[in-house]
Amino acid sequence: MLNLERLRTLDALARHGSVSGAAGGLHVTTSAVSQQMAKLEREVGQPLLAKNGRGVRLTDAGRLLADHAARIISQVELAQADVEAQRGCAVGELRIGAFPTAMRGLLPRALGTLRAAHPELRAMVRESEPEESMAAVVRGDLDMALAIDWHNKRMPVPAELSRAHLLDDAADIAVPAGHPLAGRAEISLGDLADDDWISWNEGQFCHEWLVFTLRGIGVEPRIAHIAEEHHTQLAFVEAGLGVCVTPRLGRGPVPPGVRLLPAVDTVRRHVYVVWRTDAGRRPSVRAAVEALAEAAAAV
């Protein structure tokens, strides 16, 4: 009889491509991964891993069993969802990933609603970027995730996931109070072609969006500073170090030396929640989606 937890370990190895990656995804030590794989190899009676330089790779038998493991795990999750749906109440643990502004602007209200309506449901939240969160939902490390894309640049959603739109989040352009255009009622991105920009971390979807958008209107952006948090970006704007795009969701107090100007052509993000399609019947997932929709309507 194959052990399910060992199959989960093999599945994590196949997805992450390394012992350390599997350990991180499973939130265990690399030693625990190695021990589980050694036991699984004894169970099947043949090697599943082979040395590959300083790492390891799956053998043919390992890849074959990993394919079966992925299907078995999916069926187990579907069975768990069916049992929970049959019971008809939202209980147990629900793991949610969310980007920073959703953590501030949506989740406090949504989690409060969930706690009041479903006291036996324990929601656990992890702050992470949308790409990371969605990948974690696909892997099964998270049950659902809040994600974003932009009006002119969509983020691909893996085929295994379902999604529900929550809200459209308008963004403003932040300029220093002493900027020559600070007195305008609205502004276009092209008006700031000669300004330095403060952007998100390179490689993040929002950074790629900013570069893509500016180049789309014929502006080669001068990215002068990189800061992940919006309040840090606004501090740099107040110091006269550049301009930035700042969404309204979860926005904190604006420094007195910053002017927020609406964009002539509205700049907006689409905020949505994703979950594994095979978990869509779980009452806890449905309850969380409803609570998030209610919180979004109140924004």
Q: Tens digits of per-residue pLDDT, 235-261?
A: 999 999 999 999 999 998 999 999 999
Q: Across residues 178-202, what is the average pLDDT? A: 95
Question: What are the Cα distances from residue 73, in Å, to 68, 217, 262?
Answer: 9, 47, 48
Report the 10 Å Cβ neighbour count for 255.
Answer: 15
Alpha carbons 186 and 197: distance in angstroms, whole number: 18
* Structural contact between residues 132 and 201, judged by C-beta atoms closer than 8 angstroms: no
Q: Which pLDDT score, from 0 to 100, does residue 167 have?
A: 97
pLDDT > 70? residue 86: no
Query: Residue 75's pLDDT is what?
Result: 81
Mean pLDDT of the chain: 90
Q: What is the pTM assigned to this prediction?
A: 0.75
85 pLDDT band (50/70/90 cuts)?
low
For residue 152, pLDDT beyond 70: yes
Side by side, the strands of the sheet bearing 161-176 are: 121-127, 92-98, 144-150, 258-276, 161-176, 244-247
The more confident residue out of 204 and 292 is: 292
Residue 203, token pair as written in the block? 């490689």
**Least reliable range by pLDDT among 80-84, 196-200, 261-265, 271-275:** 80-84
Give percent of the chain with pLDDT exceeding 70: 97
